Structure 1
């Protein structure tokens, strides 16, 4: 089954200018679309705004009564090119098989004999009009080639995608994904390096590297947070040749959303991946001619998938790897068996966000220091260790942190304050464990005495017979006291040094630019940290992440700095999709809503950006001011790298410096 591509879409700027000849009408249309997309204003309310503003303009005499200003929200969607640009195919609710073509309303899955559509006719009107019933499981699909055309309709993004052509690799330095060994050595169908001038078949040809991300969004069907959950699988693609600030949510391409309510198995997932893989093979072998902003007559575009970036569970499902509990192959990079993952040989031999930040950093901070109460919370009489840390950071840190918070804490704040905390509280910790050990010896002696008395008392107790009519003894045997637990020292003298080894290695690995010498040093620090961790806490405290992290330097050599292949893109997309109001729909309709809202919001962002590039008929930049206010309305971008992407939306100048300042903002520490 082939997915039919959609015709080329006009650029956001062209659609914005063509929506109406008057600037104030364009601004009202843009406002209505923005309010509905970002603030969930209803269609009826949007139509009321349009109707009211139209007759206000007529009353003011700025437009005639016959002016084609829209008064319905559907008309505005058509003007701006915001209609659905994806297909909806019926899928089997049992085996996830997808079917195309014209199917009869009573069609069933050949393998499962399960109906592919809901009840044939829901009412008399549907029967008389021949209304097509809804699929029992709707699957939204759109060809990747169509999404590429939509992205390349932006002239700025198209120019940025050509950046790899001007990139020069400096041996031994990794600051860009094109510095990695994999992008530099992959071949085209003729055996030439794919990303080289020798691989181009046409002078205007564009070769694009992409990464594929997979994740599942989990929704609670009940607003109060309990009840059955619904899991929707998202497959997304990122243009790896874009700068980091332009790779984020609005420039991701989502060709398919896998319907829930539960996650498909590895075999069932192949039904969805088949369409994606077929499209990728076509785009690699033959490419596709796309009419872009800079090449209206069309240019050849070819694609290469250089990496699949996802968490461990999704990777095992998509690529067929064994889980971390697999006895023979728990690691996807080497052949170490499970029982040797924490051995010295293994530690001297995945995704950096989950592996390093939500793996090792969380294990060291939360599991070893917070959950074990090694660092005590403040009380009314003493600040203790966490109280001192909270005062230093001016925020509470006792809970489980996010990946961003772990990154900031481990690479900046904690290396400064952890040695100070240990210097102040280590002596008290030693005295505390000595007092506890004295109590432990007393309790152990009392336990041994009670144990001897218990054994003497119950030595001759009648034991129950083993026959079928056996009854428990009438005499109640007294229970024994539990063996007292030996005390453990909360703070170890070598822990600050252990943590500094880890923090230094993390600082190197998470750098925007890394050298071969830095990777060698980071691997040495990691090995020292892991071996000392095992010696201090025991092999039972080791997790699979402690083994996987030793492959991190090798991955950086393959794909460049970690910011080209970590999971922040998919996690950010996950958070964005969870904010959409899906009205708790089922049978794949939730996934259709997610696909619609995501692509529509992405297009609206381009329309808002178009407000800055319209030729002005008057000195005051009214459209630009309105567009700036809409862009600034999203407060989540403040203080993130995505804030730097605003420079593309609002142009250069003072706002450019402001965006960069926001992108590099950090906590001001008071020591």
Structure 2
């Protein structure tokens, strides 16, 4: 987790592209910020800071670097290379030679600026804290000896990989630059980007996407390992040996770990890091020597005893004072924010979704179906069950035994299918969580649509139907093969769609709007961009097993 996201992705995006000024602040970074502000991501992914790459954006967590590499990167970053077209051969050789010289100068400048500070810090450590030898009664005894770093360690200039989710000293200002660099106008500076820069980063993105799948075949594992090794080798060629870290060597062993222990999601440490972050946020007021641990242990027993009392009270008759008191106490304790209890609740919800094949929201309503939904359902049932007769509530029965469809049905806020939650756009505040990649044929053909309604329909004489009513995006007759997204299409299942609304099922040929719930494959993120002079939506499924879909 730390090695791949905070070690590789952060190093590439932040320490190479941003700190070495390959991204111009007034061009590429500003354009990226505008893209992030308009990007449509499912809420389960969260959002990246809008000012990512700048001090005001803060440090990203490992989970945010994961999202940047596997979703935002393939979807949005190619747009930054739209106007980056260079000829081959001699001009490329000259470009890379000049850029490598520039990178080498900037790295040396950064080391020169940071070395005096590092020496002063080491000197302070060797002198020791004046109170380090004082041991107060009742505190934990610690050694006052300070380990002296070797000469090689003094010369190493390494950035901390994990800065948590807050600003740290190394990210507050770009190393090697003063405050005046913040306001520098670099709009007239020639771009230092090359088409190979994007292709190189996308190799890392594709390798991570394969490594992070719920299941992975031997062929996919070999492909991911090959992509990662090619990425590391090209990194030296594109940016020089100064950008290489031990993390890049460690990463070449990832395939071995997957062969030995299985997919990375089975043993990564996101939950432990999240717990560490919450525990570190507590104010301890310098209580050491086990005091804070004793406090946590007492709180655990207090909470356990309270839960025991509440459970006993909730088993009492509903009209009793004891039951009502316990119910109010239970509701009050569920409103904690920024605490371990909130984390536990979130994890329980995520675990519940991940292990559920089909589940509906507790909130539902009995309602009349809209006209378009009702008549589409009628046509769907007549086509699917030709031996049965169905007719609407305003039509005469065509023959004896024909079933009249009622307009009443149960509609839900959301449904969980194979671990992913889909919201009905008609009952949600935003349609962002309603976009889905949907299977539309037995051959595995997929389309993207907006889930408008989630319906449980019961019909006397027929049984019940569980379905989603979908409005389909307009497929664009444009190929991404000759664009900057060409390298992403197959691995990330990118698709292009017109941005002029949805298909009309009455006047246009569309897939059937009535979709069985098991055909919902993945939530979708989308980005509006310009391809060949026209505006389109580009979508990417976020399901971990989306690489398996054809």
Normalising by the smaller structure, the TM-score range is: 0.3 to 0.5
Structure with more contact order per residue of length (Cα contacts < 8 Å, sep ≥ 6): 1
Higher strand share goes to which structure? 2
